[in-house]
Structure 1
Amino acid sequence: MSKNEYLNNHDNCDENKDDLKNIKFEVCVDSLSSCIEAIKGGAGRLELCSSLFSGGLTPSYGLMKTLKEYIEVNNNNNNNKNNNNNPIIDVFVMIRPRSGDFLYNQDEITIMKHDIELVKQISKECPSFSGIVIGLLNSDGTIDKQNTEELVQLASPLSVTFHRAFDMSRNYIESFNTLKSINCDGGGKISRILTSGLESSVLEGIDTIKDLIKLSKPTHITILPGGGITQKNINKIIKKTKLQEYHISGRTISDSKMQFRNTSIFMGGSLRESEYSYGIVDKNKIQDFINKSNI
């Protein structure tokens, strides 16, 4: 069966059926300040990481615990005002032990399992921590199904997103079908695929994303576009994809408050961030995304 025939067989749903009035923005964050700004800006979900410069790594226990405490205080304040128990935000935690490729050895898999156990422990105390984000490949570019299944099983009942390791896989239809087939005891499964359509940005990969949307319609998987989404192109992307969730950064560069600056040395490799500036989410940018999503 050709690619077009395969996709046509899955094109049996009305692409206009989604309600585009309630679009949710997932914001990637790597500091408490960014978390707070994203929440104040109206983010629907946080992807909690460290080192977004490296594409996002597992956040520290300290960041998770401090965010948990912030959420609990604000949940209590909101519940007292509104007489409800709805959390102010959902948090999905990145599980990625290092930068670089997505081919992991067994020691790294063990680290990921311990990190998932920690997230589950936090989730029991703070239901806002409701998901994890993972991505594993084999050396031939296929999805590492065996280890992915083990992590999904361990994470259950948390929601699981497969991140942009998907964009580094060799064949998106094959990869989608592999992820779709994961169905662990207790209902563990991949709920979302974060993707730029195997290109550098969502707009460049829009045709592949539209193919994935067709494939996902009869399944439990949500396609989550992410990569290069800006306030300038979000309206166009929504019109082309007609989805209800999008992954954004909404970051701005903040200058360091350090007065003394030793600019002759740096702490990282040759490709590095400045020691005297850092990225932080801007709540006004998040609000702008929300305003421009009303089509």
Structure 2
Amino acid sequence: MKRTLEVCTASIASVDEAVKGGAERIELCSALELDGLTPSAGLAKYVHTTYPNLRIHALIRPRSGNFVYSPAELQVMLSDIEILRPIVHGIVSGALLPDGSIDRQSTTQLVNAAGSLPFTFHRAFDVCHAPRESLETLIELGCTRVLTSGQQPTAEQGSQLLSELVTQSGGRIIILPGGGVNASNAVSILNTTGAIEIHGSARNGSSETDSHEVAKLLESINA
């Protein structure tokens, strides 16, 4: 089975490098220094037009900080999905309640707004309480994937929980390990956890994605 790499990109330069390296799917965002925010519609449209065969999953996150959103912030997120939906292939988002549990109501609205597009619950999962129960909630709400480091600083460190989540998922939702992923550890993470997809920014000591790092990642996971 072919393993899938999703490359996190936050600029035209990074998208160009990702494609040059052979990436077929990206997470498109902005402001990686803030752990990623919603990309502009202009950026998404440019990427969609320039690379029609590239699968674009857009991050919907209106601000930095926690993942507890006000009604006004949720409306902004829903509007962003409405704007981006015709030009992307997936939505990456999510919301929590102040107690650290999944915000069912807000996440349901986000999933519904995505329509037929696959929905990835992002790394808010890494700060949620009761990850196993939360995974069942995300399955119930219709999420396609969950992007997670296994509630540790890196996916390599979180491989034990990631493995447990892959087993628990039973094919009902895709576990997408992310966090500190590179060509030297990607295969180990996939083999240890049983995941078939992996997420990384493929940077080489800079703020931009590097095509050589992308190529090395792809070669390593599909060797």
- Scaled by the length of structure 2, the TM-score of the pair is 0.96
Query: Which residue among 200, 211, 214 is the counterpart of 1:286?
Result: 214
Q: d(CA) in 2 for partners of 1:179 and 1:294? A: 29
Contact 2:163 2:193 in 1 (8 A): yes
- 1:115 is displaced (CA, Å) by 0.1
Q: For each residue in 1:17-66, what CA deviation from the matched residue of structure 2 results, as whole angstroms up to 9, or x when unmatched?
A: xx2xx111000000011111101111131000000111110001221121
Hey, what does 1:8 align to over in structure 2?
Answer: none
- Which residue of 224, 228, 236 maps to 2:180? 228
Is contact 1:137–1:143 with CA below 8 Å preserved after alignment?
yes
Unaligned runs of 5+ in 2: none
Residue 218 (structure 1) shift:
4.5
1:207 correspondence with 2:160: yes
In 2, distance between residues paired with 1:173 and 1:47?
25
Q: CA deviation at 1:294?
A: 3.5
Identity %: 40
Between the two proteins, the alignment pairs up a number of residues equal to 223
4+ residue runs of structure 1 moved beyond 3 angstroms?
A: none
RMSD: 1.2
In the alignment, is residue 64 of structure 1 matched against residue 44 of structure 2?
Answer: yes
Whichever residue aligns with residue 247 of structure 1, its letter is H
TM-score by length of 1: 0.73
Per-residue Cα deviation, 1:168-217 (whole angstroms, up to 9, x for no partner) = 001101110111111xxxxxx20000010000011111110011001111
Q: CA–CA distance in 2 between the matches of 1:236 and 1:53?
A: 27
Provide the C-alpha distance between the structure 1 equivalents of 2:171 and 2:27, rounded to a whole number of angstroms.
26
Q: Higher Cα Rg: structure 1 or 2?
A: 1
Q: Which residue of 2 aligns with 1:16?
A: none
3-state DSSP class of the match of 1:103?
coil
Say whether 1:98 aligns with 2:78: no
Gaps of 5+ in 1: 1-18, 73-87, 123-128, 183-188, 255-278
Residue 192 of structure 1 pairs with residue 172 of structure 2 = no
